[in-house]
């Protein structure tokens, strides 16, 4: 059987070579393509550039090939955009033309081939899903309804850290407690549920499954089968694991959260407005026939990954920056003490009246962007960009990290300096008002979670600095901020041990 598979693979490769050469010659006559390294048949540029298409490697290529360049990865066209002007063209001016999402063998599994909102193609389904998700998740009303819960969760973090004797001496891995906080913040909104401890058995199951989903989806290990379909039989084991994780996660969401919420609503009355949380609104849309049960579960899947983990990554980067820059930590603490007073803990409305805190948040998002390439875009039809032809169904990557770290765009971008957002870049906001800084994207496919992420970042960073002096463990001058990249994520490689010494009253 293995020999037969090998024979078929070799025959397929030979046929693909012939087809690729013919197509290449035909397209060479028809298209004016962006510049890029010269591709070889079948493999394109894959053997030249490798799997690890991270933001730094793509920035290096942009220096060589220009602000827009083309990589042919097997049968996929990958167009990389690296200037604010072209980012505006892709995300705003031609937001409809480039508003879809690319297909991917692994993300197809985890999203049911685009039955969610984040990874679906641009069209009626996306508009419907965006509308259904906006009201229960992404409005100022939601922020005002749940901000007291976010403040309570931040207060609980502070109290738990104070009770831990290791925190003030040898340090603790703060991420573990922050992760519990983020699950509680989002599960309050989704299901009106929370977990009492980091060791809650249900939370441990969720974290394990979400972590495995993230590992499988963000890995570069499956690219060869995604780029060259004839090689996909070799991915069967990998894809089988993905399907098992997907099915187990969706069953967990359904059995322990969605169905439980349905039972509660039927017991106490569906018209009881006091009961309503996000899943209640989404289930109403299902009852009206606007979406099906699978869509409901894929909405939960999106929130578990896109809202919880990405915000957690940014909090981790922010804490590490404050630890490694004690002078910035001191300035932030001075602002909090001066504006609020030593006895008042920061609340959500306070975050908007603390310019240095806002500058720290923006500099964190600029310096270590959680989604440095944004979520990839795609043009369903042939399109034009910067005078070049972009073939239909090309994968478009906007290197948002390079836009925010290019020395042509920023003064000393390698320096973590919040003051830039109070001085030369004082008018730049995280909402995409300046195309040099797009941590949440901009336009139709921008991340709506900005309305939740920014206040949560402000509350937790503010409370930590108000209550503790943050420093590296004994014997270390800094915490390690090495990067761990994925298909389009940027996480901290090692979850840092932080010393949190309570401030004297």
* Gap between the Cα atoms of 492 and 316, Å rounded: 7
The annotation status of 447 as a binding-site residue, yes or no, is: yes
Determine whether 38 is exposed, middle or buried from the number of CB atoms within 10 Å of its CB (0-12, 13-18, 19+).
exposed
Using DSSP bridges, classify how beta strands 377-378 and 172-173 pair: parallel, antiparallel or unpaired.
Answer: unpaired
The residue ranges of the chain whose pLDDT is under 70 are 1-29, 268-275, 505
Backbone φ and ψ for 390, nearest 5 degrees, come out as -115, 105
Q: How many CB atoms neighbour CB 337 within 10 A?
A: 15
Q: Is 474 helix (H, G, I), strand (E, B) or coil?
A: coil
**pLDDT value at residue 504:** 77
**pLDDT value at residue 272:** 53
Using DSSP bridges, classify how beta strands 468-471 and 483-485 pair: parallel, antiparallel or unpaired.
Answer: unpaired
* Gap between the Cα atoms of 360 and 373, Å rounded: 22
**pLDDT value at residue 13:** 54
**pLDDT value at residue 268:** 66
For the 31-502 domain, the top CATH level (class) is mainly alpha
CA angle 387, 390, 394 (to 5 degrees): 155
Query: Do 164 and 156 touch, CB atoms closer than 8 A?
Result: no
C-alpha closest to that of 395 among 93, 59, 77: 77
Collect all residues with Cβ–Cβ distance below 8 Å to 39 and sequence separation of at least 6.
24, 45, 72
DSSP lists the bridge partners of residue 73 as: 44, 76
CA angle 268, 269, 275 (to 5 degrees): 75
**pLDDT value at residue 436:** 98
Query: Do 142 and 189 touch, CB atoms closer than 8 A?
Result: yes
The full set of domain ranges for the chain reads 31-502
**pLDDT value at residue 3:** 47
**pLDDT value at residue 51:** 81
* Gap between the Cα atoms of 67 and 398, Å rounded: 10
Q: How many residues does the chain have?
A: 505
**pLDDT value at residue 15:** 42
* Gap between the Cα atoms of 424 and 372, Å rounded: 23
pTM of the entire structure?
0.92
- Enumerate the H helices of 192-303 as residue ranges: 201-218, 223-227, 236-253, 259-268, 278-287, 293-302
3-state secondary structure 386-404: CCEEECCCCEEEECHHHHH
């Amino acid at each position: 059987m293995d020999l037969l598979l090998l024979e078929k693979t070799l025959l397929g490769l030979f046929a693909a070579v012939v087809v690729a050469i013919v197509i290449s010659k035909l397209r060479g006559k028809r298209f004016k393509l962006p510049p890029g390294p010269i591709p070889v048949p079948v493999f394109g540029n894959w053997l030249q550039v490798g799997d690890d298409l991270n933001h730094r490697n793509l920035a290096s290529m942009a220096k060589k090939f220009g602000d827009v360049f083309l990589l042919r990865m097997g049968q996929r066209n990958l167009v990389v955009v690296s200037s604010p002007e072209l980012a505006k063209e892709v995300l705003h001016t031609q937001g409809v033309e480039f508003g879809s999402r690319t297909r991917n063998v692994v993300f197809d599994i985890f999203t049911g081939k685009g039955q969610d909102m984040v990874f679906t193609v641009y069209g009626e389904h996306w508009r419907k899903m965006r509308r259904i998700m906006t009201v229960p998740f992404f409005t100022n009303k939601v922020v005002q309804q749940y901000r007291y819960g976010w403040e309570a969760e931040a207060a609980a973090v502070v109290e738990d850290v104070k009770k831990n004797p290791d925190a003030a001496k040898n340090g603790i891995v703060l991420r573990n407690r922050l992760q519990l906080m983020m699950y509680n913040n989002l599960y309050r909104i989704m299901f009106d549920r929370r977990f009492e401890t980091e060791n809650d058995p249900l939370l441990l199951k969720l974290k394990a499954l979400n972590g495995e989903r993230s590992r499988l989806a963000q890995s570069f290990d499956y690219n060869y089968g995604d780029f060259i379909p004839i090689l996909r039989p070799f991915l069967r084991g990998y894809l089988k694991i993905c399907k098992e994780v997907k099915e187990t996660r969706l069953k967990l969401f359904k059995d322990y959260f969605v169905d439980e919420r349905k039972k509660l609503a039927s017991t106490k009355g569906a018209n009881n407005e006091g009961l309503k949380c996000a899943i209640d609104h989404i289930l109403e849309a299902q009852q009206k026939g606007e979406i099906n049960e699978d869509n409901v579960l894929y909405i939960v899947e999106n929130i578990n990954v896109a809202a919880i983990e990405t915000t957690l990554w940014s909090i981790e980067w922010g804490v590490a920056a404050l630890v490694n820059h004690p002078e910035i930590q001191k300035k932030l603490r001075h602002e909090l003490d001066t504006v609020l007073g030593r006895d008042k803990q920061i609340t959500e409305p306070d975050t908007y009246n603390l310019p240095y805190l806002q500058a720290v948040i923006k500099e964190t998002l600029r310096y270590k962007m959680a989604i440095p390439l944004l979520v990839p875009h795609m043009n369903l039809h042939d399109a034009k960009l910067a005078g070049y032809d972009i073939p239909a169904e090309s994968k478009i990557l906007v290197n948002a990290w390079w836009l925010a770290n290019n020395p042509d765009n920023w003064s000393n971008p390698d320096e973590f300096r919040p003051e830039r957002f109070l001085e030369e870049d004082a008018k730049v906001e995280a909402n995409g008002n300046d195309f040099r800084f797009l941590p949440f994207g901009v336009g139709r496919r921008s991340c709506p979670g900005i309305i939740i992420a920014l206040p949560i970042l402000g509350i937790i960073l503010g409370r930590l600095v108000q209550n503790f002096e943050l420093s590296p463990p004994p014997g270390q001058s800094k915490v390690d901020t090495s990067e761990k990249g994925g298909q389009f994520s940027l996480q901290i490689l090692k979850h840092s041990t932080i010393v949190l010494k309570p401030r004297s009253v």
